């Protein structure tokens, strides 16, 4: 049972920015101490969970949420004050109303039972989730998924295969996109579920990445069961519901990138200085270009989030996601040039070169995860620039009649 209930959240008030800033600073001063470093990124330590419980109880985890769901009912401007104070002391847990995919999706689309049972645990990371979207025959074209969910009374029976799923080995739940009606066009016969992962019939197999890690997995589903109360957005509304979840994912990927393994090559400026090329005009020009791209992307993402309300999707998020992909590739190329022949080395005895190579290989993840660069360009072209849509001959025919590869 949840340790924090909606009734214990603070009452809705609208303090001034300075008043709130002082409140948060004092609270952090009295409560925050750095958490132990390291650990599996796909699981949460007891110390981290305990800290997130405190943040949630104080109303700082999701300040724009309604009071009855652990929030304060604040506007985005006040929520930003809280976020900045947490960032200043490097404390996690605030601003989850901007990045917590399962919690935000459940708040926007979940049933009352689902909110009661899982929202708290998602916000304190007692329950972690993975995303069961892509399939071997439906990667870029997610509307072509063939994993099925068949209604059986007040539950659904799921069968199919998913791939490229981060964190599936340890996740307690998954956002699952499944086909619930084969006689409707591909976008209209889909439903989105919150699937319990720890049950018979779910087989998770790790995939080895080019970096040597195994964060991604393929998942085989055989007669898995999910309650009808765990249906998000209603039967047949899966495509629309998915856009809400994808908007949060793309927002996260557009805001930040994954750092290096040992942080030896994280700073472009320090890397250039340490390698004696910070005074090189060509290097400085390319370095300034990358830093300017980062700032422009930050401003664009701020604009996109300011115009989006809770539970909605924004096509502008695709611009930020695509931009971050290009930034990471540009940074990796510049870092490789800065370290020169040293980039031929690898291993812990060569930490700088090892980091540069890791970041170069890992940049390709952002070009694929959350929707490929090509898909983001389509979205931007059609929904932001108003260009004609690409031909889709199977868009309006029953899915069972569509050609399959």
Known catalytic residues? 249
Residue (of 230, 126, 229, 213) closest to 174 by Cα position: 230
Compute CA distances 396 → 184, 235, 334, 392, whole Å.
Answer: 8, 19, 46, 8
State CA 246 to chain mean position distance.
8
Residue (of 137, 131, 378) closest to 242 by Cα position: 131
CA distance 142 to 186: 9
DSSP of 45-92: -HHHHHHHHHHHHHT-SSTTS-GGGT-----HHHHHHHHHHHHHTT--
CA distance 374 to 380: 10
Residue (of 212, 211, 246, 221) closest to 232 by Cα position: 246
Number of H helices, E strands in the chain: 13, 8
Contacts of 265-269 with C-beta under 8 Å, sequence gap 24+, read 265/335, 265/339, 265/352, 265/355, 265/356, 265/359, 266/355, 268/331, 268/334, 268/335, 268/338
DSSP of 109-146: H--HHHIIIIIHHHHTTSS-EEEE--BTTBSS-GGG--
Q: Strands 202-207 and 216-227, how do they pair?
A: antiparallel
Q: State the greatest distance between any 2 C-alpha atoms of the chain, in Å, as a whole number.
A: 70
231 DSSP β-pair partners: 193
Half-sphere exposure of 353 (CA within 13 A, CB side): 12
CA distance 61 to 57: 8
| Cα-Cα-Cα-Cα dihedral sign, residues 136, 140, 144, 145 | positive
The DSSP 8-state label assigned to residue 261 in this structure reads S
């Amino acid at each position: 049972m949840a340790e924090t209930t909606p009734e214990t959240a603070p009452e809705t008030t609208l303090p001034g920015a300075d008043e709130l800033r002082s409140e948060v600073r004092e609270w952090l001063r009295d409560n925050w101490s750095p958490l132990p470093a390291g650990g599996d990124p796909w699981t949460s330590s007891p110390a981290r969970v305990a800290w997130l419980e405190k943040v949630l109880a104080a109303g700082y985890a999701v300040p724009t949420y309604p009071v009855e769901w652990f929030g304060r009912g604040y506007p985005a401007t006040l929520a930003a004050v809280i976020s900045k104070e947490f960032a200043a002391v490097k404390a996690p847990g605030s601003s989850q109303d901007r990045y917590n995919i399962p919690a935000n999706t459940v708040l926007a689309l979940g049933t009352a039972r689902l909110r009661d049972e899982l929202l708290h645990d998602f916000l304190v990371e007692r329950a972690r989730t993975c995303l069961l979207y892509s399939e071997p025959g439906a990667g870029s074209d997610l509307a072509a998924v063939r994993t099925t969910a068949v209604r059986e009374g007040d539950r659904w029976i799921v069968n199919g295969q998913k791939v490229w799923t981060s964190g599936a080995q340890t996740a307690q739940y998954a956002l699952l996109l499944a086909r619930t009606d084969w006689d409707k066009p591909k976008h209209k016969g889909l439903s989105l579920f919150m699937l319990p992962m720890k049950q018979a019939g779910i087989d998770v197999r790790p995939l080895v990445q080019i970096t040597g890690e195994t964060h991604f997995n393929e998942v085989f589903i055989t007669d898995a069961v999910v309650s009808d109360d765990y249906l998000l957005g209603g039967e047949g509304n899966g495509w629309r519901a998915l856009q809400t979840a994808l908007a949060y994912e793309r927002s996260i990927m557009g805001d930040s990138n994954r750092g290096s393994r040992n942080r030896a090559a994280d700073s472009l400026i320090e890397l250039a200085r340490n390698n004696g090329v910070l005074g090189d005009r060509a290097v400085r020009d390319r370095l300034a270009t990358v830093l300017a791209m980062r700032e422009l992307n930050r401003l664009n993402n701020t604009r996109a989030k300011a115009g989006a309300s809770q539970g909605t999707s924004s096509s502008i998020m695709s611009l930020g996601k695509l931009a971050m992909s290009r930034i990471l590739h540009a940074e990796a190329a510049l870092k490789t040039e800065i370290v020169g022949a040293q980039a031929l080395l690898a291993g812990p005895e060569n930490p700088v070169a090892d980091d540069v190579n890791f970041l170069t290989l890992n940049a390709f993840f952002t070009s694929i995860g959350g929707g490929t660069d090509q898909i983001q360009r389509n979205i931007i072209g059609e929904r932001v620039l108003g260009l004609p849509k690409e031909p889709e001959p199977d868009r309006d025919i029953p899915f069972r009649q569509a050609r399959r590869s």
